[in-house]
Amino acid sequence: MRLGFSAFLPVVLFWIGCSSAPKVTVSPRPWQKITSKAYYQTSSSEFGKRIVVRVWPDKGAKVTAKDAAKEALAEIHRISTMADAAQPTSLLAKVNEQAYQGPVPITQEFLDILVTSDRMYQFTEGKFDVTFVPVKYGSEESDQDLNKVTDWDGQPALSPNPSHLFGKKGVIVDRNPLVVRIYNRRTKINLNGMIRGYAIERAAKSLQEKGHAGFAIIADGFFAASGVALQDPGIMCIEDPARLGNCLKSIQAGKGTSILFLGTSASIERKGINFDPTAVWSSRSGGVVVAGREGAWVQFATTITAVMDDASLIDFFSKASKVGVSGAYFTPMKKDGLAGDLAPFATIAP
């Protein structure tokens, strides 16, 4: 049995892969039903994902629901053009291509993103790492060329106290002037494990300032919502595996939660001790729902827990409150199959 999640909103789908299984007619899922109030919806593709923005209008808002939704997507696009490594003209792509040769000027926002990623690296003792070394193919340069390093230690420091990010990976930030250097030509940075959550958080705060009745931003297992979008119990649910289309549990925003960030992931079944594919471990038994106060940290937690077994999940969420996230996950060790909780950001109700 494997669990999967669908993305508006955290919904758990159970199924058993069997080619001879009879076809079953499934009623419309709760998140597919029309809500009680009309909303404006638009979408675009960023970070390789379809991102949907819904805005429930209010006559007293500063701008129309349509304009508010478009501004939210524009904010996500702005961050994508800055921090998506897949975009050849992005600032991150420039850093990956040029920072081993010399200092690359960056913005304060880009630095803040790198520092947040470094905090995630430190919190997981290096397991969440946005740096990587691309695979070399036969048509590429030789190992000697790719292993070429810049002798930063033999050059004067650009600022009195440069910051070394991601342990000993050789990513160095100087603050005056604000530049980044990378010691090894092979080292690259990819922020996909957290940047989408950051971008959606920025867009959500933009929508919040507009004064509409509510909004939701949905992106492949991750969403942010506020107001009316949180008041329909039929939308936010964990699906009943025995009665598809019906809620087994409902997710309700916690008191005082102005914007609720949720992320979901399915289990990944593979051999190997956590983060060590050469060893053997028991498969993860279920999917995870993560809640938190910051979009980047929710996506981070969703990303890293997707490769954790049950014992690792228990350990991770026992410490996760320190970085403002909480989580629930499915396990046979619990009578109802659900362990953990989403407090204080949300609650799981029968």
- Residue by residue, pLDDT tens for the chain (350 residues) are 223 333 334 443 322 223 344 454 555 555 445 455 688 999 999 999 999 999 999 888 889 999 999 999 999 999 999 999 999 999 999 999 999 888 999 999 999 999 999 999 999 999 999 998 776 544 555 555 545 555 555 555 666 678 889 988 889 999 888 999 998 878 899 999 999 999 999 999 999 999 888 899 998 888 899 988 887 655 577 766 667 667 778 888 888 788 999 998 865 554 545 555 555 444 555 678 999 999 999 999 999 988 787 788 889 999 999 999 999 887 766 666 778 899 999 988 87
- Run of H or E including 108: helix 108-123
- Do 207 and 318 have their domain in common? yes
Indicate the residue among 189, 213, 237 that finishes a domain: 189
- Do 154 and 182 have their domain in common? yes
322 contacts 294 by C-beta, under 8 angstroms: no
pLDDT (0 to 100) of residue 175: 87
CA–CA–CA angle 7, 218, 229 (5° rounding): 95
pLDDT (0 to 100) of residue 3: 32
- Do 221 and 274 have their domain in common? yes
pLDDT (0 to 100) of residue 128: 93
Report how far residue 67's alpha carbon sits from residue 42's, in angstroms, rounded to the nearest whole number. 10
- Do 235 and 325 have their domain in common? yes
Instruction: Tell me the residue range of the domain where 57 lies.
Output: 2-67+196-349
How many domains would you assign to the chain? 2
pLDDT (0 to 100) of residue 83: 97
pLDDT (0 to 100) of residue 1: 26
User: How crowded is residue 292: how many other Cβ atoms within 10 Å of its Cβ?
Assistant: 28
pLDDT (0 to 100) of residue 234: 54
Report how far residue 8's alpha carbon sits from residue 20's, in angstroms, rounded to the nearest whole number. 30
pLDDT (0 to 100) of residue 7: 35
Classify residue 53 by burial, with Cβ atoms within 10 Å: 0-12, 13-18, 19+: buried
User: Whose CA is closest to 59, among 217, 211, 192, 161?
Assistant: 211
3-state secondary structure at position 302: helix
- Do 61 and 168 have their domain in common? no
10: β partners: 7
17 contacts 2 by C-beta, under 8 angstroms: yes
